[in-house]
A and B are shown apart, each in its own frame.
Chain A
Amino acid sequence: MNAAILSELRAAVQDDIRLSVAPEDLAAYAYDGTWAETAPAVVVHPDSSEQTAAVLRVAHARRIPVVPRGSGTGLAGGSLPVPGAICLNLARMNRIIEISRGDSLAIAQPGVVTQDLQQAVEKLGLFYPPDPASSYQCTLGGNVATNAGGPRCLKYGVTSDYVLGLTVCLPGGAIMRLGGRTIKNVTGYNLSQLIVGSEGTLGVVTEIVLRLIPRPDAERTALATFSRMADACAAVGAMLSAGIVPLLAELMDRATIRAVEEFRSFGLPTDVEALLLIAVDGDPALAQSAIDSAADILRGAGARDVRLSRSSEESDALGEARRSVSPAIARLAPHKLGEDVAVPRSRIPEMVARLQDIARENALDIVVYGHIGDGNLHPTLLCDRRDNAVMRRVERAAGQMLEAAVALGGTLSGEHGIGVFKRDYMRLACDSEALRRMAAVKRVFDPHGIMNPGKKLPEEIEKGAE
């Protein structure tokens, strides 16, 4: 990057310390939560909306790509730099500006870690439900950019259900405020909901107003095993029909159960096809009666074994099996490709069978787990990136999994986003009319195509947008 541009960027962030071109920093900002790597040309660490806007003014004038980044935990390559890019590290903007009990909302900067916000509001008896698996480290800005979900979203909804307002910095340096402090708001087009899930391709979110709800008092958990995957799916359907909306309805297939059991012995049976972890929350007495009814339904649906928690602590202990999924799988192979397809709930048994076929046809190991209540599955292919032949089969299998999901009426990504890994498959899920409108939207916000290029939209659509 030439010296003139660098000095303009330095002026934009007002301090040398907020900009780095050191080779070490470029290497450490070359990745996100995936295996992909591309070093940016410069890393800037803005501390405010004004500095962020100033960076976008330079980038817009100079036609330099800008890649916003929170904690770099994304699983679709959404914050992966592109060559020559400015990596915009928003992690330092991590102030919780306000928590209002009266209005049940929080205002936070994008670098606030999701769990930090959750803990802060829970101390006041409030609750922020979206809980992506990386909530210990992912940032609210990243959550907004990907419209992150998590296990609790069947009952409580996803990030967009909690966004009341946004401050967005736009290419050119304008600062736009959207929405506000009210739950109801039909004043004008709902642009904040357009920004949510746009993966940093339209602008940079620098302030977020989030709706909060009262914190539920108690949680109860049931853990059930099934000889047949279809029975597990039917059980969740029956539960919903009976009026029980579980807080969690987490599914693990046999390979996942085996990995978890190998990682830490919970005494789970390894000869079953599926394991279901159900949790309910609310007032203690209601939660207890709901989990008892849920247990009856699970047994009625053919569960082989049902374990129940009687307290929030026991509930935590049963939940440990679910929290062990990620470490257990991480230990299975040097690399993994975790997909994020979602299908209508009734099609889950078919989808799981299809995923297992795809893995078998490509001679790959696969584990499947996910959020059964909303049909969001995380089929994970195990691989070693040093092996070219394996990687080619992984590439093919990944495509086949996405095709299978769409064929069953599902979608490419439930909560991770499209990023770079799934952009080439967008045509499977979106018709060309929709894609053309998306290109037009992109052009309105970002006429020079500097915002996170190479992400979200298929290449030819994005190029047309320039």
Chain B
Amino acid sequence: MSLFDPINGQRFFAPDLPGYDKLLGCVRCGRCLSVCPTYELTRIETFSPRGRLSLLRAVEDGRLELTRGVAEHLYHCLDCRSCDTVCPPGVGIGELIVRGRAAAEARHARPWWLRRLLDVFLASPARVETAAAPLRLLQALRLDRLVVLTLGGLPGIGATIRTLQAFAPRLSRPLRRELPRVVRASGEERHRVAFFLGCLMNVAMPDVSRATLHVLARAGCTVLIPREQACCGAPHDDQGQRATALRLARRNIALFESLPDGIEAIVTDCAGCGAALKEYALWLADDPEWASRARRFSARVRDVTEWLDAIWPEELKLDHEPRLAVYHDPCHLANIQGVRAAPRSLLARVSGLELRPLANGFPVECCGSAGIYNLTHTARSLALLERKMAAIEAAGAEMVVSANPGCLMQIAWGARRANRSLSLRHVVEILDASLPKTAGHDDDHVIGMSTKARKRGDSKNEF
């Protein structure tokens, strides 16, 4: 056999993988190894982006069976997309790995409880809310610990239940039901945007989205909120449930198309949702009916920090109580959406807030949250969390500001585990708390939010 013998280029996965050419695009330079969190932890090739692509290639070439091991290796990936930010040929590694998961699903399906959670509960906001209600009650009665005592020993799912209980945020009354269809700009309307409410924001961090709407209004935006919106599909895409992800994407695209003309942007305050919404164009690129509609939709999606930084009215000054803070880049915002400067530049407008650099460089060091990675790969997730907590400690921060619910919950978990007092804030919460007080005109009543809730002090750390 000669080194120059040709390869055949078999097509095992088609059409679940977006083409053999993209896999061939990996020239195996190894650039991705230097930024991959799982490679850094293991120093084993199979846990690297290049290794994962090589497994897909080996299956395509017929050199390797599509084993359960292949599927497991695809799921060892955090989907943090650090690799994509440095890949010299621009292979689109993260997308290939996620598509590989979908391709593997037929032979090696995800656990039943996970599929059920995704396909039944997470597929519509109403069902998320219905599912959240009894959990909320459990938490309110502090019975969640009892559940752990009873079910925590179950084989298979027991460990997941234990982690979930330790990690889970305090659930709140769903925000969606109390939101109006329109939030008017306070003062002169300068922009018109639509708001995409993420599922986690809805049931776990409603205060963040309240702050988002409030800040948008104060910055001169009238905000339309289509209530029928579905989950963005990111969790489904992440867990190999591609058909559901695409169905949700089509539904959201059609819904936002139905809004009146003149919407400048579709704004979200969840980096995970934003990344998915921006990727609809990629998800549906091969669908002749939806490709161009998806492109138009994705082109209008903005993370709230990105949007606010672009339109912030100069005269709107921001003033915060003195705090030493760090900004934690969510992978899905910095790596996938390339939004790094906007949140920093917004926070730089806030007097009183001293922003210290966090030793995370670029690409971003993942905090280990990564969708449900902390439930499926708890030990590794915790190793990454501990690294992140050490960086926060080294920066001497008393507050961590970020822009993604998963990261905020994960870092809050890290603080609880270490018994550390640390405030966690979304960028919009900082902005909201720093806005000048208005005389008379306030839209708090419009978005069903008590001033008391919004002005709560720093003690909160209950994500």
Contacts known (A25-B46, A27-B63, A331-B89); A34 close to B28, Cβ less than 8 A: yes
Chain B: minimal CB distance from A294 (Å):
29
Q: Which among B6-14, B255-263, B276-284, B421-429 touches the partner chain?
A: B6-14
Chain B positions within 8 Å of A388 at CB level: 5-6
Chain B positions within 8 Å of A34 at CB level: 28
Chain B: minimal CB distance from A407 (Å):
22
The residue of chain B having its C-beta at the shortest distance from the C-beta of A136 within the complex is B34
Whether B89 and A327, one on each chain, are in contact in the complex, defined by CB atoms closer than 8 angstroms, is yes
Chain B positions within 8 Å of A24 at CB level: 46, 55, 64, 67, 69-70, 73
Chain A: minimal CB distance from B425 (Å):
32
**Is A247's beta carbon under 8 Å from chain B?**
no
Contact with B along A324-343 (1 / 0, CB 8 A): 00110011001110000000
Chain B: minimal CB distance from A465 (Å):
22
**Is A29's beta carbon under 8 Å from chain B?**
yes
Q: Which among A70-78, A154-162, A429-437 touches the partner chain?
A: A70-78
Whether B9 and A386, one on each chain, are in contact in the complex, defined by CB atoms closer than 8 angstroms, is yes
Whether B30 and A134, one on each chain, are in contact in the complex, defined by CB atoms closer than 8 angstroms, is yes
Q: Which of A365-390 contact B (CB under 8 A)?
A: 385-388
Query: In the complex, A22 Cα to B65 Cα: how many Å?
Result: 12
Whether B29 and A134, one on each chain, are in contact in the complex, defined by CB atoms closer than 8 angstroms, is yes
Contact with A along B31-71 (1 / 0, CB 8 A): 10110000000011110100100110010000111010110
Whether A335 and B3, one on each chain, are in contact in the complex, defined by CB atoms closer than 8 angstroms, is no
Chain A positions within 8 Å of B33 at CB level: 71, 137
Chain B positions within 8 Å of A312 at CB level: none
- Which one of B8, B21, B27, B58 contacts A27 once the chains associate, using CB atoms below 8 Å? B58
Contacts known (A28-B54, A31-B54, A334-B24); A23 close to B29, Cβ less than 8 A: no
- Which one of A25, A31, A92, A94 contacts B28 once the chains associate, using CB atoms below 8 Å? A31
Chain B positions within 8 Å of A84 at CB level: none
**Is A42's beta carbon under 8 Å from chain B?**
no
Chain A positions within 8 Å of B46 at CB level: 24-25, 28
Chain A: minimal CB distance from B212 (Å):
35
Query: In the complex, A235 Cα to B60 Cα: how many Å?
Result: 50
- Which one of B44, B51, B69, B90 contacts A327 once the chains associate, using CB atoms below 8 Å? B90
Whether A45 and B44, one on each chain, are in contact in the complex, defined by CB atoms closer than 8 angstroms, is yes
Chain B positions within 8 Å of A45 at CB level: 43-44
The residue of chain B having its C-beta at the shortest distance from the C-beta of A93 within the complex is B43
Q: Which of A277-304 contact B (CB under 8 A)?
A: none
Number of A-B contacts (CB under 8 A): 111
Whether B30 and A137, one on each chain, are in contact in the complex, defined by CB atoms closer than 8 angstroms, is yes
Chain A: minimal CB distance from B211 (Å):
37
Query: In the complex, A29 Cα to B47 Cα: how many Å?
Result: 11
Chain A: minimal CB distance from B359 (Å):
12
- Which one of A28, A33, A331, A386 contacts B30 once the chains associate, using CB atoms below 8 Å? A33
Chain B: minimal CB distance from A16 (Å):
14
The residue of chain B having its C-beta at the shortest distance from the C-beta of A135 within the complex is B34
Whether B4 and A392, one on each chain, are in contact in the complex, defined by CB atoms closer than 8 angstroms, is yes
Contacts known (A24-B55, A27-B55, A134-B30); A335 close to B73, Cβ less than 8 A: no
**Is B450's beta carbon under 8 Å from chain A?**
no
The residue of chain B having its C-beta at the shortest distance from the C-beta of A31 within the complex is B28
The residue of chain A having its C-beta at the shortest distance from the C-beta of B25 within the complex is A334
Query: In the complex, A24 Cα to B55 Cα: how many Å?
Result: 7
Whether B3 and A334, one on each chain, are in contact in the complex, defined by CB atoms closer than 8 angstroms, is no
Whether A385 and B7, one on each chain, are in contact in the complex, defined by CB atoms closer than 8 angstroms, is yes
Whether B25 and A326, one on each chain, are in contact in the complex, defined by CB atoms closer than 8 angstroms, is no
Contacts known (A91-B43, A392-B4, A395-B4); A33 close to B29, Cβ less than 8 A: yes
Chain B positions within 8 Å of A137 at CB level: 30-31, 33-34
- Chain A interface, >50% SS class: loop
**Is A192's beta carbon under 8 Å from chain B?**
no
- Which one of A73, A92, A386, A394 contacts B43 once the chains associate, using CB atoms below 8 Å? A92
**Is A121's beta carbon under 8 Å from chain B?**
no
Chain A positions within 8 Å of B7 at CB level: 385-386
Query: In the complex, A27 Cα to B54 Cα: how many Å?
Result: 7
Contacts known (A24-B70, A24-B73, A334-B25); A138 close to B30, Cβ less than 8 A: yes
Chain B: minimal CB distance from A326 (Å):
5
Query: In the complex, A73 Cα to B45 Cα: how many Å?
Result: 12
The residue of chain A having its C-beta at the shortest distance from the C-beta of B4 within the complex is A395
Contacts known (A330-B89, A331-B89, A334-B21); A23 close to B28, Cβ less than 8 A: no
Chain A positions within 8 Å of B3 at CB level: 36, 77, 395, 420-421
Chain B positions within 8 Å of A68 at CB level: none
- Sort chain B's interface into a size bin: 35 or more
**Is A207's beta carbon under 8 Å from chain B?**
no
Chain B: minimal CB distance from A87 (Å):
9
Query: In the complex, A457 Cα to B5 Cα: how many Å?
Result: 22
**Is B2's beta carbon under 8 Å from chain A?**
yes
**Is B313's beta carbon under 8 Å from chain A?**
no
The residue of chain B having its C-beta at the shortest distance from the C-beta of A73 within the complex is B30
Chain B: minimal CB distance from A138 (Å):
7
Query: In the complex, A387 Cα to B48 Cα: how many Å?
Result: 29
Chain B: minimal CB distance from A270 (Å):
21
**Is A115's beta carbon under 8 Å from chain B?**
yes
**Is B88's beta carbon under 8 Å from chain A?**
yes
**Is A309's beta carbon under 8 Å from chain B?**
no
Whether A23 and B67, one on each chain, are in contact in the complex, defined by CB atoms closer than 8 angstroms, is yes
Contacts known (A27-B63, A327-B89, A334-B25); A385 close to B43, Cβ less than 8 A: no
**Is A111's beta carbon under 8 Å from chain B?**
yes
Whether B65 and A28, one on each chain, are in contact in the complex, defined by CB atoms closer than 8 angstroms, is no
**Is A219's beta carbon under 8 Å from chain B?**
no
Whether B45 and A136, one on each chain, are in contact in the complex, defined by CB atoms closer than 8 angstroms, is no
Q: Which of A114-142 contact B (CB under 8 A)?
A: 115, 134, 136-138
Whether B24 and A335, one on each chain, are in contact in the complex, defined by CB atoms closer than 8 angstroms, is yes
Chain A: minimal CB distance from B58 (Å):
4
Chain A: minimal CB distance from B242 (Å):
22
**Is A273's beta carbon under 8 Å from chain B?**
no
The residue of chain A having its C-beta at the shortest distance from the C-beta of B52 within the complex is A28
Query: In the complex, A334 Cα to B27 Cα: how many Å?
Result: 8
Whether B30 and A23, one on each chain, are in contact in the complex, defined by CB atoms closer than 8 angstroms, is no
Q: Which of A345-381 contact B (CB under 8 A)?
A: none
**Is A113's beta carbon under 8 Å from chain B?**
yes
Chain A positions within 8 Å of B65 at CB level: 23
Chain A positions within 8 Å of B6 at CB level: 385-388, 391
Whether B29 and A326, one on each chain, are in contact in the complex, defined by CB atoms closer than 8 angstroms, is yes
Chain A positions within 8 Å of B51 at CB level: 28
Query: In the complex, A327 Cα to B8 Cα: how many Å?
Result: 25
Chain B: minimal CB distance from A354 (Å):
21
**Is A99's beta carbon under 8 Å from chain B?**
no
**Is A30's beta carbon under 8 Å from chain B?**
yes
Whether B45 and A89, one on each chain, are in contact in the complex, defined by CB atoms closer than 8 angstroms, is yes
Query: In the complex, A387 Cα to B9 Cα: how many Å?
Result: 10
Q: Which of A1-46 contact B (CB under 8 A)?
A: 22-25, 27-37, 39, 45
- Which one of B4, B43, B69 contacts A94 once the chains associate, using CB atoms below 8 Å? B43
Chain B: minimal CB distance from A341 (Å):
18
The residue of chain A having its C-beta at the shortest distance from the C-beta of B42 within the complex is A92
The residue of chain B having its C-beta at the shortest distance from the C-beta of A420 within the complex is B3
Whether A336 and B29, one on each chain, are in contact in the complex, defined by CB atoms closer than 8 angstroms, is no
Chain B positions within 8 Å of A327 at CB level: 88-90
Whether B64 and A331, one on each chain, are in contact in the complex, defined by CB atoms closer than 8 angstroms, is no
Query: In the complex, A111 Cα to B40 Cα: how many Å?
Result: 12
Query: In the complex, A336 Cα to B88 Cα: how many Å?
Result: 14
Chain A positions within 8 Å of B24 at CB level: 334-335, 385
* Residue with the greatest number of chain A CB neighbours at <10 A, chosen from B43, B55, B64: B43
Query: In the complex, A331 Cα to B27 Cα: how many Å?
Result: 10
Query: In the complex, A35 Cα to B28 Cα: how many Å?
Result: 8
Q: List 11 A-B contacts (CB under 8 A).
A: A24-B64, A24-B70, A31-B54, A36-B3, A45-B44, A72-B28, A89-B44, A136-B34, A330-B88, A388-B5, A391-B6
List chain A positions with a Cβ less than 8 A from chain B: 22-25, 27-37, 39, 45, 71-73, 77, 89, 91-92, 94, 111, 113, 115, 134, 136-138, 326-327, 330-331, 334-336, 385-388, 391-392, 394-395, 420-421
Q: Which 9 A-B pairs have the closest CB atoms?
A: A327-B88, A330-B89, A395-B4, A28-B51, A27-B58, A73-B30, A28-B46, A388-B6, A92-B43
